[in-house]
Structure 1
């Protein structure tokens, strides 16, 4: 009969226990010094070595020839414990023996001295399953047990133990086994079993064990039987039903680079292969969490996330195209997807809708999505790569054009017509003459003008106007002045549609119809020179008939 790997390779000495050096060292020192406590509490997640350590400890305290706190496993006492033939070691499953009557039996057996050993050891597994009555019944025995009795409680949920029991025990918290420690142990076992193994295969087994070495060895056992003495990465992925890491990287990159079509194709391929969409969601969420850690911690992230060096390098390359705010936004959406998938009847649709939201912030209305859209606009404005969509025009079908001359003639006529329409619309539009007090009013209400554009969802126009240098009035026209590096903004805002929109917003806020022009600083300097050269003709005529010393020039009638 085949014996499971986790049973075949269960540690027989403290030195074989993986990843719990802080506990092993303390236990060995206690054994060597003879300071054995009367009760211990071993807590930690499943598969971390709690019961194994308890069994080794039971042999070590009773060993006839201990060496450096280790059991020899060769003396009569050790062999009887290993063969389960001793009557002095009790392993009790508290999940099925959790009543007051079961505890009463323990209290009765404690009265009798060990038959063949130095200590009677009671290993109570899943101790949190003891009822409250049973736990209280044990209190007196745990507090003042006979000198030959040792209790070892093993539990995955110490928070469920009553405080009075916890306070009477020496507590040891078993930590999760790291990926590297599990890989090293699996390499050792594979070499003993004569199995060739790929490094990536061990990595994916370790990551999917969630810190439990027993789970890792159970998966390894299945994979070895499947692979026939050769363990491949593809076989492990197939057996576990998980997503290939390359597919995860590809889907994550599509999300970051806003490639909807490629992302949906990958999802379709994954579902078509019969994989569970909840597993894909979970794997993608974990990958995004790793990217977030990379962005937040930099090179130090390698110590936090459990990935290979090659995967870590790929992650650093992926985060070059995004920032931590965007990744956190994606993680929030993926977390929402996972919650919705639990109760959804059409899981594929729920997942696809969520993925589209992660790629296209325009389909999401929360604060993070709006911030991402603004950042994208800022990047576009900074790059100067702004394209203004032209109005749709009707074109004749190519089959209706007899020759190139016809095409040229039609093209010329359309251009002429467009020019006439544009000029005629400008001429037909009547503007009010702008004055200095109007300019002051516009400057005072400029924030309201920008708010109106925000309400109209004209974010590109608003974003460009935020970069304006100043406002100026000349010859009854409002000039919006930009710095020299914003030539692209001048070009875009001078477009007929954008300039008309700005004029309409100014009219709505100021209640006057002014002509608006967008210029650069260099052009504004020319206007200033023109203003300086201009002279007041009325003042010149007055000087011809009146003594210049008697003339006083005022800007308005209100001045005194």
Structure 2
């Protein structure tokens, strides 16, 4: 029968424990000096060596031939403990033995002296699972145990332990194991197992183990069985169901360049390969976090980013594509998506909506999004890409034709200018009108029937400068009053934002009031044209693709 690597290579001596030198040194000093405590608390995340250190400690304090605080693993006591045949060493799972009756049975056993060993050692795993009653029942025994009894509590959540128990223990915090430490341990194991492993493959396993060596060895075990003693980066990607780092770079760079088609294509490939959407979202966020740290620290964060030298170079290149505010905006959007994915019935669509928001600042009302839109506008103005919508056919791109086109546009009539402005704004209005049935259905689901009934009587819609005007005939003055005075406007705005994915301020008006809006629009267009003519030469006012 195959024995798992984390069991086969479980440390047998303190010197073999990876990444916990601060704990091991103190324990060895206590053993060598004979100042052994009666209760210990080993806390830390899973797979960091808590139970392993407890078992080594149990052998070391009972070893017949200890050396420098280490167990010899050769004497009768060490062998009995290694074979789990010692009657004086107890490993208790508090997850299934957490009642007051279980503690009472334990206390009865404590009364009797060790049969063979010098100390009776009680290793209580998952100690935070002890009930409050059980913890209190054990409290007196922990405070004043017989001289031959040692308690070792191992837990991933020390905050759940009652304070009176914690105060009676020597506490040792086991830290997460670094990527480099895990890689070195895996290299040693691969050499022993005659496995050739790529450096990038081991790095990828270490990064995906969450600082837990046991998890890393479990992944390594699966990869070795899959790859037949030749461990490749591509095999690890396949087994873990994650995205290749090169594809993550392509996705992030496409987001920075607002290349939505490339990102969607990558997501489609990822989904079709049967991989987890939540994992993809997490990978992108982690990658963006690395870019953010490099951008914010002036490339001095390489020591806290888990990446190869080659990846660090590519991360630096990516960080130069966009600004720090935009990176933070993207992380905030994707983090919000990630928190909702676990409850979403359509994870793919949820992620795609979030991705669209990252590439379209206009759909995001955050401060960072506004700053990004301003930067885009500044770049457009700087490049001379001023947009004026025209009914005329596109002119040839020669300098003579450009000057001719500019002069022709300067002679446009007042009516044509007004029409141009309305066409620029027509996309938003068209989108709302197409979505109106969906907006009504949403209100029906929300059981906002009075609001829905009044909106069904609207005569028309107009949109100007982000304000949506809902226009009623004169006989529906009561609808205007009811919608405005009873606080329904905010609800209407929220529904429109959810359906159309853009913010609009809503105003309810009557037909007679709508005429003044047309006058205001006409005045603004006239003022805008006047500003352009006064501040820009004719040959700079070219027809360009309209900015969304």
- Change in Cα spacing, 1:286 to 1:141, as seen in structure 2 (3 Å) is same
Q: Distance in 2 between matches of 1:111 and 1:515?
A: 94
- The alpha carbon displacement at 1:290 in A equals 1.4
Q: Who is 1:388 aligned against? A: 387
Matched, 1:182 2:182: yes
TM-score computed with the length of structure 1 as normaliser: 0.72
Q: Who is 1:74 aligned against? A: 74
- The alpha carbon displacement at 1:197 in A equals 0.5
Q: Residue 242 of structure 1 aligns to a residue in which SS?
A: coil
8 Å CA contact 1:503–1:514 kept in 2: the answer is no
Q: Distance in 2 between matches of 1:520 and 1:201?
A: 58
Q: Deviations over 1:507-551 (max 9, x none)?
A: 889xxx999952699xxxxxxxxxxxxxxxxxxxxxxxxxxxxxx
Q: Distance in 1 between matches of 2:228 and 2:531?
A: 82
Q: Who is 1:223 aligned against? A: 223
Q: Distance in 1 between matches of 2:123 and 2:406?
A: 92
TM-score computed with the length of structure 2 as normaliser: 0.74
- The alpha carbon displacement at 1:94 in A equals 0.8
Backbone CA RMSD of aligned residues: 3.1
Q: Who is 1:193 aligned against? A: 193
Q: Distance in 2 between matches of 1:55 and 1:78?
A: 10
Q: Residue 122 of structure 1 aligns to a residue in which SS?
A: strand
For residues 306-321 of structure 1, what are the structure 2 equivalents within 5 Å? 306-321=306-321
- Change in Cα spacing, 1:163 to 1:377, as seen in structure 2 (3 Å) is same
- Change in Cα spacing, 1:418 to 1:4, as seen in structure 2 (3 Å) is closer
Q: Deviations over 1:29-79 (max 9, x none)?
A: 101111000000000110000000000000111111111111111111111
Matched, 1:289 2:271: no
Q: Residue 153 of structure 2 aligns to a residue in which SS?
A: strand
8 Å CA contact 1:503–1:515 kept in 2: the answer is no
- The alpha carbon displacement at 1:4 in A equals 0.5
- Change in Cα spacing, 1:60 to 1:379, as seen in structure 2 (3 Å) is same
- The alpha carbon displacement at 1:421 in A equals 8.7
Q: Distance in 2 between matches of 1:519 and 1:417?
A: 18
* Higher relative contact order (CA closer than 8 Å, sequence separation 6+): 2
Q: Deviations over 1:297-329 (max 9, x none)?
A: 233312222222211111111001112211110
Matched, 1:202 2:174: no
- The alpha carbon displacement at 1:278 in A equals 1.5
8 Å CA contact 1:118–1:148 kept in 2: the answer is yes
Gaps of 5+ in 1: 397-406, 430-454, 458-500, 522-560
Q: Who is 2:337 aligned against? A: 337
Q: Who is 1:130 aligned against? A: 130
Q: Which has the higher mean CA deviation after the structures are superposed, 6-15 or 240-249?
A: 240-249
Q: Who is 2:534 aligned against? A: 518
Gaps of 5+ in 2: 418-463, 467-519, 538-548
- Change in Cα spacing, 1:391 to 1:231, as seen in structure 2 (3 Å) is same
- The alpha carbon displacement at 1:354 in A equals 1.1
Q: Distance in 1 between matches of 2:314 and 2:127?
A: 44
For residues 263-302 of structure 1, what are the structure 2 equivalents within 5 Å? 263-302=263-302
Q: Distance in 2 between matches of 1:110 and 1:208?
A: 42
| Greater Rg by CA | 1
Q: Residue 43 of structure 2 aligns to a residue in which SS?
A: strand
8 Å CA contact 1:503–1:516 kept in 2: the answer is no
For residues 378-527 of structure 1, what are the structure 2 equivalents within 5 Å? 378-381=378-381, 383-389=382-388, 391-394=390-393, 423=411, 425=413, 456=465, 504-505=523-524, 518=534
Q: Who is 2:508 aligned against? A: none
Q: How many residues align?
A: 433
8 Å CA contact 2:98–2:129 kept in 1: the answer is yes
Q: Distance in 2 between matches of 1:508 and 1:393?
A: 22
Q: Deviations over 1:309-363 (max 9, x none)?
A: 2111111110011122111100111012112322222222221121111011112
Q: Residue 92 of structure 2 aligns to a residue in which SS?
A: strand
8 Å CA contact 1:41–1:171 kept in 2: the answer is yes
Q: Distance in 1 between matches of 2:118 and 2:410?
A: 106
Q: Who is 1:49 aligned against? A: 49
- Change in Cα spacing, 1:117 to 1:282, as seen in structure 2 (3 Å) is same
Q: Deviations over 1:76-127 (max 9, x none)?
A: 1111111112111111111111111111121111111111111111101111
- The alpha carbon displacement at 1:22 in A equals 0.5
Matched, 1:145 2:145: yes
Q: Deviations over 1:194-252 (max 9, x none)?
A: 00011111111111110110011011111101111111111111111111111111100
- Change in Cα spacing, 1:417 to 1:261, as seen in structure 2 (3 Å) is closer
8 Å CA contact 2:62–2:119 kept in 1: the answer is yes
- Change in Cα spacing, 1:456 to 1:164, as seen in structure 2 (3 Å) is same
Q: Distance in 2 between matches of 1:303 and 1:141?
A: 46
